[in-house]
Amino acid sequence: MSVMDLFKTEVENAVKTALEKIGTNTSFIVEVPSVETADLAVPCFLMSKVLRAAPNDIAKKLAEMIKPSGMISDVNALNGYLNFSMDRSQLVTGTMNDVLLAGDKYGNKVSNGIRVNVEHTSANPTGPIHVGRARNPIIGDTLARCLSMCGYDVSTEYYVNDVGKQAVILAWGVNNISEETINKDTCNATAKDCHKADHKFVTNYRIANKMMEEDPEVQEQISIMLRKFEVGDANTVFNVRKIVEAMLGGMKETLANINVFIDTYTWESKFIIDGSAKKIVENLKKSKYAKHESDGAYYVDLKDFDVHGKNTKFIFTRADGTTLYTTRDLAYHMDKFKRSDKVIDVLGEDQKLGSKQLCSALQILGCNKKPDTMFYAFVSLPEGRMSTRKGVVVYLDDLIDEAISRAYSEIKSRRSDMSEEKIRDIAKIIGVGAIRYNIIRVQPEKQFVFKWEEALNFDGNSGPFLQYSYARACSILRKAGKFREVVDASKLTDECEIKLVKVISKFSNVIELAGEMKYVHKLPAYGHELAVAFNQFYASVPVLNSDEERDARITLVKCTKIVLNNVLNCLGMGAPEEM
RNA sequence: GGGCUUGUAGGGUAGUGGAUCAUCCUUUCGACCUUCGGAGUCGAUGACCCGGGUUCGAAUCCCGGCAAGCUCACCA
């Protein structure tokens, strides 16, 4: 339990006792106030009806009854609020001891044994990951890290769409389009990293799509291939699988470059091969909601499931009896439920209706679980939506390269003393950090227009700002040499020192919000607040050049360094000792 | 046309019933310090889409507009 939690409990008890004395057990809440004048506050507006008195009079009365004791150093009434201040000395010692004791585990909750499966990214393996969808791995990975800190047993997963028309078009393109045609292609997407399979084959995919539209002959060939694929022709299935695997390899490389590593890759074709998708079809057919078209395609009618208008027809098998993506997705979710206690899907907002239909179908199948969902709006270009097929994209690989090269020149211009190799290593940490931070800092459901100058922002509310503060803390500790690690509140009384400790003490609450409520964007905001508090401390009091406060202040720097490191780690960003 | 989501200073963004100042970044203007790392600190300017309603109190909730995004396949 953190110092703030202990304080909150104490305030709760004090208020409860006071209310009992005036003969009521009316409920109340203890909140963190929006103003700086108190550490915790109890609004008295709701009590005013029950107690038939003005809010501020109630607050005054309670303030008189509660005497400062324990962690409560001051109680007062203001504007209808009952305000509490926490004893500075206990705040400082309690918080700093917690941090020093827990170290890189500070902010972690004890393991609760609950298995959470986080499915994210799951991008179609028909082209490189572009920034339009780059929110997915970053949100998913950050959420997974936060849940892990909240004590969950987390497993991440990518669903690979290796079935269907898109995959077949890709394979046809790779098999039939000559190197010469590829070389002549002029597409405005940069795709400079041509050694990667995803960048190489996306051109085949794009051209194949175009040829299919223009040439009935090509369309026929692809149809034949698709039919062969669907009846399980060994050569065709093997051929598609091999190409998709190569594609996915390139995409994994991109993910690794932004520190995203996924535990399990589950292939969609699995649910055809093991027959579980067919079983879903049979079970759905038995339900009272099942109906069929005259030619034999089946659907369930979802009008009783809060699905409106024309969207109620949820088709789950074709006229020829084959399964559809949605059917296989149902089988996939049933499979995930077997392996985990909680299932979270991180999806693009285009999947909202599909996800709702999936949940309804799960209910019809008698499944009592459903996935938690987290939707994000697409990142678009100033000229509109990105499209792999049309080649209107900014690839994530290009963004990474650009950010790293920008970081490289920044470091180069500041540090003449650093080796080339070291500059390159740090540039990668800074560049990738800037991208992850910039994407995660915005609430997922807000639409986002991609602008290079914003994506590469290194000042103010940015990843590099956090990393810089961390590097500064490391530098002070390096220069400090030997010091006595002391937690001495009597030496840390400056306003900015108290402020810094207060911010540090909030960390575990932020982790809880980010994990349990899935408010991942709270994390970068917190990191920024912490870095600002540290910089203010740094600017207003000397650390190494102080006398009797020296050890206490260096210890506070060490605490800050630990928490900044934990924040960076949770954001999937590197923590550079220097930059 | 139906459904879902979003609308906050010049640009971006937090806050989703409560406290004489609505957060933070950027831009613009001014200052600090050029010292333990200036990718810094302090100050100024500037905003709740529009119209009703509910409430002691609304950026926040409800209704009606307007604008943007997504969606409404025997695609994945």
CATH number at residue A235: 3.40.50.620
Give residue A69's domain range.
3-86
CA–CA gap between residue A379 and residue A576 (Å, rounded): 29
Domain match, A285 and A421 both: no
- Domain harbouring A65, CATH code: 3.30.1360.70
Q: What's the CA–C1' distance between A443 and B8, in Å?
A: 14
* Whether the Cβ atoms of residue A42 and residue A76 lie closer than 8 Å to each other: no
End-to-end CA distance of chain A: 35
Residue A100 falls inside a structural domain: no
CA–CA gap between residue A548 and residue A559 (Å, rounded): 19
Q: How far is CA A274 from the centre of its chain?
A: 33
Domain match, A403 and A355 both: no
Q: For A317-346, write each residue's pLDDT tens digit.
A: 999 888 999 999 999 999 999 999 999 999
pLDDT on residue A294? 87
The continuous run of DSSP H or E covering A179 comes out as helix A179-184
> How many CA atoms lie within 13 Å of A428's alpha carbon, on the beta-carbon side?
10
* Whether the Cβ atoms of residue A99 and residue A559 lie closer than 8 Å to each other: yes
Structural domains counted in chain A: 3
Domain match, A406 and A515 both: yes
Residue A387 falls inside a structural domain: no
Mean pLDDT of chain A: 93
pLDDT on residue A479? 94
Phi, psi of A387 (to 5 degrees): -145, 120
CA–CA gap between residue A322 and residue A165 (Å, rounded): 13
How many other C-beta atoms lie within 10 A of the C-beta of residue A421? Answer: 8
Q: How far is CA A563 from the centre of its chain?
A: 19
Residue A352 falls inside a structural domain: yes
**Nearest to A421, CA basis, from A431, A411, A413:** A411
CB-to-strand B under 7 Å, chain A 169-228: none
Q: How far is CA A223 from the centre of its chain?
A: 39
Answer yes or no: is A411 CB < 7 A from strand B.
Answer: yes
Chain B bases closer than 7 angstroms to a protein Cβ: 1-7, 12-15, 18-21, 24-27, 36-42, 56-57, 68-76
Q: What's the CA–C1' distance between A316 and B44, in Å?
A: 63
Domain match, A368 and A428 both: no
Residues 6+ apart with CB under 8 A from A375: A347, A348, A349, A351, A352, A444, A445
Here the ipTM equals: 0.96
| A579 SS3 class | coil
Domain match, A373 and A407 both: no
Q: What's the CA–C1' distance between A62 and B41, in Å?
A: 41
Domain match, A376 and A470 both: no
Residue A445 falls inside a structural domain: yes
Parallel, antiparallel or unpaired: strands A313-317 and A298-301 = antiparallel
pLDDT on residue A367? 93
Domain match, A53 and A177 both: no
Domain match, A372 and A457 both: no
Residues 6+ apart with CB under 8 A from A256: none
CB-to-strand B under 7 Å, chain A 256-285: 268
Residue A448 falls inside a structural domain: yes
The continuous run of DSSP H or E covering A317 comes out as strand A313-317
* Whether the Cβ atoms of residue A42 and residue A78 lie closer than 8 Å to each other: no
Task: Give A180-243 as a 3 state SS string.
Answer: HHHHHCCCCCCCCCCCCHHHHHHHHHHHHHHHHHHCHHHHHHHHHHHHHHHCCCHHHHHHHHHH
Residue A81 falls inside a structural domain: yes
How many other C-beta atoms lie within 10 A of the C-beta of residue A409? Answer: 11
Answer yes or no: is A325 CB < 7 A from strand B.
Answer: yes
Sheet holding A342-348, edge to edge: A264-267, A153-160, A115-119, A342-348, A372-376
Domain match, A211 and A255 both: yes
- What is the length of chain A? 579
Whether the model clears a pTM of 0.90, i.e. scores above it, the answer is yes
Residues 6+ apart with CB under 8 A from A34: none
Residue A386 falls inside a structural domain: no
Domain match, A262 and A344 both: yes
Domain match, A359 and A448 both: no
Domain match, A374 and A402 both: no
pLDDT on residue A384? 87
Phi, psi of A422 (to 5 degrees): -65, -40
Among residues A380, A408, A424, the one where a domain terminates is A380
Among residues A317, A350, A380, the one where a domain terminates is A380
pLDDT on residue A263? 98
- Domain harbouring A512, CATH code: 1.10.730.10
* Whether the Cβ atoms of residue A403 and residue A432 lie closer than 8 Å to each other: yes
Residue A261 falls inside a structural domain: yes
**Nearest to A284, CA basis, from A340, A331, A319:** A331
Sheet holding A298-301, edge to edge: A290-292, A298-301, A313-317
CA–CA gap between residue A109 and residue A147 (Å, rounded): 10
Among residues A345, A380, A415, the one where a domain terminates is A380
Write out chain A's pLDDT in tens, 579 residues. 788 889 999 999 999 999 999 888 888 889 888 888 899 999 999 888 888 888 999 999 999 999 999 999 999 999 999 999 999 999 999 999 999 999 999 999 999 999 999 999 999 999 999 999 999 999 999 999 999 999 999 999 999 999 989 999 999 999 999 888 888 887 767 755 468 999 999 999 999 999 998 999 999 999 999 989 888 888 999 999 999 999 999 999 999 999 999 999 999 999 998 999 999 999 999 999 999 988 889 999 998 888 876 678 899 999 988 899 999 999 999 999 999 999 999 999 999 999 999 999 999 999 999 999 999 999 999 888 998 888 889 999 999 999 999 999 999 999 988 999 999 999 999 999 999 999 999 999 999 999 999 999 999 999 999 999 999 999 999 999 889 999 999 999 999 999 999 999 999 999 999 999 999 999 999 999 999 999 999 999 999 999 899 999 999 999 999 999 999 999 999 999 999
Q: What's the CA–C1' distance between A498 and B70, in Å?
A: 46
For tokens 């040439």, name the residue.
Answer: A215
How many other C-beta atoms lie within 10 A of the C-beta of residue A541? Answer: 17
**Nearest to A467, CA basis, from A571, A545, A333, A360:** A571
